Structure 1
């Protein structure tokens, strides 16, 4: 039977109140442990054994979200129980398990530590959120040679079948027949056909919530080709789709009383004789014509067709997620996704709730005067803003052109990648926006 060791989270001001034996207290003093953030200290037991651990979480002003995830990153393989200054015990357990995440598909890795659900935590919620995050991370971490459009479609179909969701797909030339011309144009240069996946779940009479995720499985930049360095992480360009699937999992798992629809356009932005070109003018599902100012601004094109479809049934809420712009990363860095909303009250509610679940977002303006940066002399709109200013805002303004009937629309411009290890987020693919959006949907439409 696996033994369980206790891990006590302690702040710099909480050390004096801990119940420690005289020998352990002396050991703490000798080790100069004061509750410093990220410091792990093994406590001596009988016969030279380890009786448990103290883990420092620092001062309140120095404490990042998901701080308990640092403990998981520091601890050796084993099974642990959490106690001490946990804050919200549900979030502490989620943070610990997310910090223990390892991606071992291609390389043998040391198993991460596991933990018991602490007293007072919602075990179902812990499992739900961890499963959602792991689903997203595993998909994003998988390289495009193993997760091309065909494989991503298969993964989504498996996801849908496991949750009793309806599954439909429009693929290849059928995209033109069914009026998704921009999804087709972006993906037609790939050896694997572009497609749009459509999932549904829930009571048709319930409030309609539609999720849309950017599924660019790899982005070369197209004919406006990226640099080698810029292409290196482009397996993560389907991070919006992966996180939308994670969000869908939480909604279905919690059985929230909504009619859920999930739309994921899947393409590879490849280069071949059939690639779309700078200067092309594309039709769209919405009826707007789009001049291509840059083939590397492809994500907004496929999202636009999917958003137009979502908008046609006038849902209560549309949420899209996309690894859309480098401009958002320049402005806000990798930790803080940019959030936009057509409804100011919902935008503020989303961001306020995001802080409560340690899934931070930053509300950005849909600044209408910048729409002029997307003007075209020969088409209704250009897909790339002139001048290089306000890149994330102008991308959001482009998308807004394709949403007119939904009661509210939320757009998250995420990175879906941790370039450096952070609490609860090891280096590599990461979940962003799942807990924040779930909290919003649960508050607005849930039963508790």
Structure 2
């Protein structure tokens, strides 16, 4: 997929973004011919309604496009224009704020996304957009390209995206920005990261820990992403209906790689580290078992009460490594619990943090950049639920109550040492087509984090 804005000097058609409330004034400002045409086609400014007004030579004279100014009812409304308008170049007109223009332009770029690795085609020239005046076009292009990376990684079929392929993608990203990279596997993984090794050992595709570093000045920021390339559930085997989307169980890894790409491409003055435990959770004679008690990198023991709660195990060792350097900001992202989906659905990324400034910044940024997030609590009284009788921690507390919170509390035990820790329990998948978001893999929380970092870190 090629991402770009049209040249600034290209001949273009004016694209007026008009909601029902602004329609009367805009209509009255047009020529008699335009008003006549608008009335004949019954243009009301409803969301997604297009008024293609022809000129005398048959070319487009002007386009009116209905959209909502109430962003609470949806996102990227103008993105549908990118795929529905005739081929040509367009320039947005109308009384829109810079934030609204930025959202419109980003949505337009993302509307053309197609996963074409397995079925090429569908990327022909279509409607193109001039970068709206006042927006940071280079930043929007970077964000869109990073989102494409995330989507492509999630959408790749599991036979083509195992731990080794995820390592290759991460290392290629590191090389393109001059970042260092180190991968731990084999005996070193067994000694230093026993939970990662235990989860991944049943697969013929060996587990590994991917470690990228970039930047040598500024606050220390560590991103940890769950890289379970396919999750059968292990010996607690998932039913087929629950296994159908498990190629997306590395969505946390894909999202932090997209976020890391934005941070590096935009040159944020931070010391960035990315840690990805990459594994398959498979079934074999040497798979880890329910009732096993495993020792983590940190030394805490974990009783395994469900092998399908493997994501928190691999994250635990990676978080422990990250916390050993006492970073200023530690963020984990994972497609972790069904409980988070039940609570907030697929569109909202819940996050957990004890850092009030970080929480406020994320809520503000999520609303500002059309990347909805919502804070859930690290509820301390539930700590007892993750403490079994025979080990320090339980990976799957009985009863199923507050599953997203207990998983987050489990992870927090391994993040001690970081000045600020935030955990995202994302879905990483668009279950039905929406503007700028076709069915398939999608990044969540990354744009909110990117927008919040300067404020949180004082950059």
TM normalised by structure 1 equals: 0.95
Corresponding residue number in structure 2 for 1:200: 213
Matched, 1:191 2:201: no
Deviations 1:113-161 (A, max 9, x none): 4322111111111111111111101111111111111111111111000
Corresponding residue number in structure 2 for 1:9: 17
**By how many angstroms is 1:220 displaced?**
0.8
Structure 2 residue corresponding to 1:24, chosen from 27, 30, 34: 34
Corresponding residue number in structure 1 for 2:455: 443
Deviations 1:390-438 (A, max 9, x none): 1111110110111111110010111111111223212111111111001
In structure 2, how many angstroms separate the alpha carbons of the residues matched to 1:17 and 1:275?
68
Corresponding residue number in structure 2 for 1:60: 70
**By how many angstroms is 1:97 displaced?**
0.9
Q: Does the 8 A contact of 1:57 with 1:63 survive in 2?
A: no
Corresponding residue number in structure 2 for 1:400: 412
Matched, 1:355 2:375: no
Deviations 1:270-313 (A, max 9, x none): 11111111111111011100011111111110001000000001
In structure 1, how many angstroms separate the alpha carbons of the residues matched to 2:149 and 2:71?
32
Q: Does the 8 A contact of 2:358 with 2:456 survive in 1?
A: no
1:6 match: secondary structure: strand
Deviations 1:317-349 (A, max 9, x none): 001111111111111001101110121232122
**By how many angstroms is 1:62 displaced?**
6.3
Matched, 1:248 2:260: yes
**By how many angstroms is 1:84 displaced?**
2.1
Matched, 1:235 2:247: yes
Corresponding residue number in structure 1 for 2:158: 144
Corresponding residue number in structure 2 for 1:313: 325
In structure 2, how many angstroms separate the alpha carbons of the residues matched to 1:358 and 1:238?
23
In structure 2, how many angstroms separate the alpha carbons of the residues matched to 1:78 and 1:239?
35
Residue correspondences, number: 445
Deviations 1:195-237 (A, max 9, x none): 000000111x421010000111111111111111111111111
Deviations 1:164-183 (A, max 9, x none): 00010001332013x10000
**By how many angstroms is 1:385 displaced?**
1.7
List gaps (5 residues or longer) in structure 2.
Answer: 1-6
Q: Does the 8 A contact of 2:48 with 2:78 survive in 1?
A: no
1:46 match: secondary structure: coil
Within 5 Å, give how 1:169-184 maps onto structure 2.
169-177=183-191, 179-184=192-197
In structure 1, how many angstroms separate the alpha carbons of the residues matched to 2:128 and 2:389?
59
In structure 2, how many angstroms separate the alpha carbons of the residues matched to 1:275 and 1:3?
62
Corresponding residue number in structure 1 for 2:381: 369
> Cα RMSD over matched residues?
1.8
Within 5 Å, give how 1:316-327 maps onto structure 2.
316-327=328-339
Structure 2 residue corresponding to 1:49, chosen from 34, 40, 59: 59
Deviates more, 1:8-17 or 1:50-59: 50-59
In structure 1, how many angstroms separate the alpha carbons of the residues matched to 2:154 and 2:301?
32
**By how many angstroms is 1:249 displaced?**
1.1
2:372 match: secondary structure: coil
Q: Does the 8 A contact of 2:228 with 2:250 survive in 1?
A: yes
Corresponding residue number in structure 2 for 1:425: 437
Corresponding residue number in structure 1 for 2:138: 124
Within 5 Å, give how 1:295-306 maps onto structure 2.
295-306=307-318
Corresponding residue number in structure 1 for 2:4: none
**By how many angstroms is 1:94 displaced?**
0.9
1:387 match: secondary structure: coil
Corresponding residue number in structure 1 for 2:92: 82
Q: Does the 8 A contact of 1:187 with 1:193 survive in 2?
A: yes
Q: Does the 8 A contact of 1:91 with 1:126 survive in 2?
A: no
Pick closer, same or farther for the CA change 1:304–1:246 going to 2, 3 Å: same
Corresponding residue number in structure 1 for 2:170: 156
2:92 match: secondary structure: strand
Corresponding residue number in structure 2 for 1:33: 43
**By how many angstroms is 1:76 displaced?**
4.7
